[in-house]
Every structure is written in C-alpha cells, then in structure tokens.
A and B are shown apart, each in its own frame.
Chain A
Amino acid sequence: MRRRYYGGRRRWEFVGMTRRELYGLLTGIIIFALASLLPLVNTGYGLSLGVTIAMYTVLSTSWALFSGPTHYISLATAAFFGLGMYVVGGGLEMYPFPILILIAAGVGAVLAGFIGIATLRLSGVYFVIFTLGLAELIRQLVTWGQTTLGTSSGLYVLTNIDEKMIYWQLLVLAAFVYLIGWWINRSKLGFALRIIGNDEKVAAHSGINTALVKVLLFMVSGSIAAVTGALLAPRWTYIEPTIAFSPMLSFLVVIMALIGGAHRLWGPVLGVVPFALVWDLITAKFPNQTALMLGIAFLLIVYAIPHGFIGLGEKYWAKYKVWRDRA
C-alpha cells in the first residue's frame, strides 16, 4: 500500500533535480534568451519599458525571497535601491563601475543586517511601519548630508553606459536572483524559512535559529536591491534623493510581487509584466489617476487574489486535476 506513494511520481523534493525542475530551468533559459534580444529589435520606447520591467522583476523577486515565506512586509526597498544609486553617483570618479557594484552589494547587505538585527523582533504591522520610516530617515540623512557637505542637492552620474547595457546587466542580475532563489528553495535555509513563515514558535522549538535565518535572507534581498539601484544610476544623468529614495518604489515592488504571487519564485514576474504595462499606460495618458490604480490593485490583492495570479492558477489547476481524475 505504502509503496504507491514513494515509487515513481512522488519523490521527496530536494533530492536531485526532478523532471519538473529541469523543464523549469529550460523554460527559464528560453525566456531569458528571448528577452535578451529586445535591444536588437527596439532601442526606443520598447527598450525603456523593458528596463523598467527588468528592474521591477529583480526588485520584486528578491523582495519575495524574504517576504514571501516569512510574511514580513518590508517597505525598505527604496532605502537599499537609493543607497546603491548613491554609491555609484558618489564613487564614479574614484572607482571603476564594476567595483562600485560590489561596494553597493556590500553596503546593502550591511544595512540590511543592521535593520534585521534591530527590527526582526518586531512583528506584523510594526515591522512594516518601521521599514517605511527607516527608508524616509535615510532619505532625509542623505539630503541633509548633501546640502551641508556638498554644494547641490543632487549628483551627476556621467557614464558611457547606455540603456542597452543597463538592460542586459539587469537581465544577468535577474538570472542570478532566480538561481539564488532556486538554490534557497531546495536548501535547508529555504525549508527553515517556510517553517518560520508557518509558525515561528514551532521553528524555534525544532532547533532553527529564527533570527539568524531571517537576517540572512533580509541581507540577500537588501543587497540585490542595492545592486539594482547601482545598475540603474547611469539611466539618470542627475540623481537626487527624491528620485533615488522614492517611497513609491517600495510600494510598487510590494504590490507587483503580491499581485503575481509572492509564495513562488516565478510569481512576482507574473505581476510585474502586466502591472508595469498598465502603469506605463496610465502615467502616460492619465497621469493624475496613478493613485487610483494603486488603490484598485490593493483591493484586488486583498479581496480577489490573496495569493496572486499564481495562487489563482494553482487553485484552478487543482480543480482541473480533481475533475480529470474523476472523468
């Protein structure tokens, strides 16, 4: 009787690579290959939209690495993103660009580590508010630092990196994020995160150092957001705190990830693509109605698709399977 469960199809997930993972990997490679062709087809509006989509894909996916399993909603993305941008803006005359990317990654990880140690004891809404406030605090500090130490309120970022390069760099970063996410999901770290997300007390009593696991993941996520900011700095020739540390960015990242589905690695991108397209349309045609769209998106997440498009798909897939097995 028992063998039926273990033989054949139902194998324990994290031993070796299953056929499903292999298909996933191949699909991923094909999608990335197709996406990398975009700059050869269109270098104007299409590419600009592509950069935006790639950027939000990286940010939302890395946000969901931490917040998906733990359900800690972080609104600090803009803090990491802005810091990364300022690392490039401030260090461009001293160091080559690739070094600055590494510095941004380090700065993001360190900041996330500090925030993590200070805040991850907070739960639920307190954590949300703290991260939002913290992003604001960093913005104010940077503004204050620039006006007292420097002469202007912004920085010039003059490089010969064009939008095409930014796009490809973001694609590489996105591939990296997916690989990390895939590795985490099949590792003990990912298993620990899922247990923590279900019940932190059970996790602790099973021997998991919950604080360490959460801080580590938050650092990964923060570091990636900082690198994203660093890569995007050349897109604007002039950066200032209101651009780099825009709270709207943090909100958009969260909404896109949740609309797609934060509990799966490839969930957020399913939210990013449609949302970014509609968002672009609305900012172009009805610039005053963006808040309305955010509101509708929030309502949609809460009432209609609490687990995102992915959750919706999974629900109907399960229903289809029941129907198929019965037929």
Chain B
Amino acid sequence: MTEVTALSIQNVSKNFGGLVAVDQMTFDVMEHEVVGLIGPNGSGKTTMLNLISGFLKLSSGQVGVFGKSITGRSANRIARRGIARTFQLVRMLPSMTVRENVAAGGVFGYQRYWGVELDRRTNFVIEQVGLGGKDAMPVVALTYIDQKRVELARALISDPQLILLDEWLAGLNPKEMEIGIKLINELRFEGRTLIIVEHYMDAIRSLCDRCIVMNSGAKIAEGSPHEVLSDPEVVRAYLGDNDA
C-alpha cells in the first residue's frame, strides 16, 4: 500500500498575545488514516483544529494538504481544498430546514453540486447519517444527536479529503454514543481520512489508528492508542504527578 500524506503540519504555533496556545506542533496524517488528537482540557486541541480549518490564522509554521501548501489561507479556500469540519458546539443554520442545512455544505465546498445532482447527493448523505425522513424538519426541532448528525452530513456532502471532528461525541448519552461511534466507524471503513478530537477514551481506542497527545499546546506523545495511553508522561499530563 502506498502511503500518501494527506495533511502535514510543520512547526505550527499560535499565540494570543503572550499566551502560546499551540507550540511548535509537527505531525502528519496519512490518507485513509483516523488520527485522534487528545489531551487534557485547555491543551490546545481545538485551537489546532481551528488552525487547520482556517478558523484561526496561524502565527508561524506550515500546513499542507496532499503536498500543497494551505498556510495562511482563508477558511473558504481551505474548505474548497477538501477540508471539512464539525464544531465543538454545534452550529446550525436556524432558519433553514435539515435538508438545506446539509445541502449548504455541498454547493461551495470540495465537490460542488447544484440542482438535481445536489438533490441526489443530499438524499444520500441524509440517509447515510441516519436522518432519513427528517429532511423537511426545522433544525431547531431536532434532538442533540440529530443536530450532530446534520453537522456531520454537512461535512460529508462535499466528499472532502479530510474531515475534522471536534468533540463530535461530547454531550451524547451512552446509547447515542454507541450510535455515534458506529457512525464514525462506518466512515473509517469507507476509507475517509479523519482527525478526531475527543475526551472519551473508549471511543479513541476503538476508532483511531494513531493518537497524538497534546499538553500545554505542545505534542507530548504520538503512537497507537494503546501505546500513548500507557505512556507515563501522558498519564502525568492527565492525572498529575504521583507524588505531587
């Protein structure tokens, strides 16, 4: 199997005034790989995703997608390059129906659809994420997991090369969590390239090929979920020193 680098992050930093939120991060994500980005609260995971998706401008460093630089590009151009995302706190388009919310991702993104094609593609992803039959509903009437499904569908519809899931499972109850993990697993077997930010370790273990652990904005470990979760430094980052 040939290894193709989908995303390469080199020495990326972000500081807000004097605060360094992301500190010299360097890592790669291979095509078809599912990478978990984990770390304690405030370690800079979401900021890292925001830098990749163009939500925030990076202070220094390089970001590349399939060998082409997207460093410093605006969010809309990065989206067109094939990076889609969901948000930590779901962002719905409140005045629109489920269908329009999903279609919104498929008109201007990586693959662009319109008219009958958009119609067909929207139907497909709505079914895929399990929203079938709810497409005419206003999004405000949806349950939390269904809103999360809408966001996932909106990211999927343009068939992006890389999807960033920012705590997509957070806030779900145990039963919904099971459904959610199954859904992401399906994406994994579809061969999608994903970066997952998550706190729920069981999900990380079952979903990720590889994990990157952040603490205070910097990378402290990288490897298989089993490896990094038994790494003493990672344990220390999460739980503090034994003899503290």
Report chain B residues within 8 Å CB of A5: 133, 135-136
Q: Is B66 an interface residue (CB 8 A)?
A: no
- Contact surface of A with B, Cβ cutoff 8 Å: 1-2, 5-6, 10, 12, 14-15, 188, 191-192, 194-195, 197-199, 201-210
Determine the main DSSP class of B at the interface with A. Answer: loop
- Please state if B76 and A208 are interface contacts (CB–CB under 8 Å): yes
- Please state if B93 and A202 are interface contacts (CB–CB under 8 Å): yes
Distance (Å) between the CB of A235 and the closest chain B CB?
Answer: 39
- Please state if B79 and A15 are interface contacts (CB–CB under 8 Å): no
- Contact surface of B with A, Cβ cutoff 8 Å: 53-55, 74-76, 79-80, 84-85, 87, 91-96, 100, 103-105, 107-110, 112, 114-116, 118-119, 123, 132-133, 135-136, 154, 158
- Please state if A206 and B132 are interface contacts (CB–CB under 8 Å): no
Cα distance, A234 to B56, chains bound together (Å) = 52
Report chain A residues within 8 Å CB of B87: 201
- Please state if B79 and A206 are interface contacts (CB–CB under 8 Å): yes
Report chain B residues within 8 Å CB of A197: 95
Distance (Å) between the CB of B57 and the closest chain A CB?
Answer: 13
- Please state if A191 and B85 are interface contacts (CB–CB under 8 Å): no
- Please state if B79 and A207 are interface contacts (CB–CB under 8 Å): yes
Report chain B residues within 8 Å CB of A207: 76, 79-80, 107-110, 112, 158
Report chain A residues within 8 Å CB of B110: 207
Report chain A residues within 8 Å CB of B105: 206
Report chain A residues within 8 Å CB of B79: 204-207
Cα distance, A255 to B221, chains bound together (Å) = 59
Report chain A residues within 8 Å CB of B76: 203-210
Report chain A residues within 8 Å CB of B109: 206-207
Cα distance, A225 to B115, chains bound together (Å) = 32
Cα distance, A15 to B113, chains bound together (Å) = 13
Distance (Å) between the CB of B28 and the closest chain A CB?
Answer: 23
Q: A204-B75, A206-B79, A207-B158 are in contact. List 5 more A-B contacts (CB 8 A).
A: A188-B107, A192-B107, A199-B91, A204-B54, A206-B107
Report chain A residues within 8 Å CB of B135: 5
Distance (Å) between the CB of B150 and the closest chain A CB?
Answer: 11
- Please state if A194 and B95 are interface contacts (CB–CB under 8 Å): yes
Partner of A198 from B95, B112, B116, B158 at Cβ < 8 Å: B95
Q: A1-B133, A10-B136, A191-B104 are in contact. Are A204 and B74 (CB under 8 A)?
A: yes
